[in-house]
Structure 1
Amino acid sequence: MRSADTEFVGGPLDGRILPILLSTFNSVPKVYRVPVPAHGDRPAETLVYDRAKAYSAKGRARWQYVFRAPQA
């Protein structure tokens, strides 16, 4: 399967670039969920990132993931 290096903005993964598997239409998923297991006093949670379009310095469109803040 093909993958694309995708940047994460905000949240715990801020600034990281991770390879994301592409769909059958060669696009990254609209929503990316990262399960975080329970550790010590912290309960298990799921981090949610939404796909957003970003532009490179040359004006080329690319995808990045933006952190969705948890609802209170």
Structure 2
Amino acid sequence: MKSEDTPFVGGPLDGRVLPVLLGITGHPPKTYRVPVPDAAGGPPTVLVYRRAPRPHGGRFALGHKWQYEFDPEGRTGGPRWPWSRPARKPGGAPGGNGETTDG
């Protein structure tokens, strides 16, 4: 399998460059999850990094290069498809617009 040295920005891995396996398209995965074991023996904490384009280093850069940026909220939701309903807000009506209908 092919890998690419990818820099990490922000969070505990800030400044590190790690080899990341590439997919069949030649790109690293969109999210990179790092499980960190708990010192007390509890469930591990998962750090989430998101793929972002790396700023070009010069005029002669070939192809896209990527970097991973720390996501402190750790969103792990799946893809949002165009035909999916919008995410429901707490206390909102099932219709999604906040209004109720009386039948």
Per the normalisation by structure 1, the TM-score is: 0.86
TM-align CA RMSD: 1.8
Q: Gaps spanning 5+ residues in structure 2: where?
A: 75-103
Q: Distance in 2 between matches of 1:41 and 1:21?
A: 29
Runs of at least 4 residues off by over 4 Å? none
Q: Distance in 2 between matches of 1:27 and 1:35?
A: 22
Higher relative contact order (CA 8 A, sep 6+): 1
Residues 13-65 of structure 1, C-alpha deviations (whole Å, 9 max, x = no match): 00000000000111000000000111138752000000000123214341000
Q: What is the match of residue 72 of structure 2?
A: 69
Q: What is the match of residue 27 of structure 2?
A: 27
The percent identity for this pair of structures is 49
Count how many residue pairs are aligned between Structure 1 and Structure 2: 71
Structure with the greater alpha carbon radius of gyration = 2
Q: What is the match of residue 8 of structure 1?
A: 8
Q: Distance in 1 between matches of 2:68 and 2:57?
A: 18
Q: Distance in 2 between matches of 1:21 and 1:41?
A: 29
Q: Which amino acid aligns with 1:53?
A: P
Whose strand proportion is higher, 1 or 2?
Answer: 1
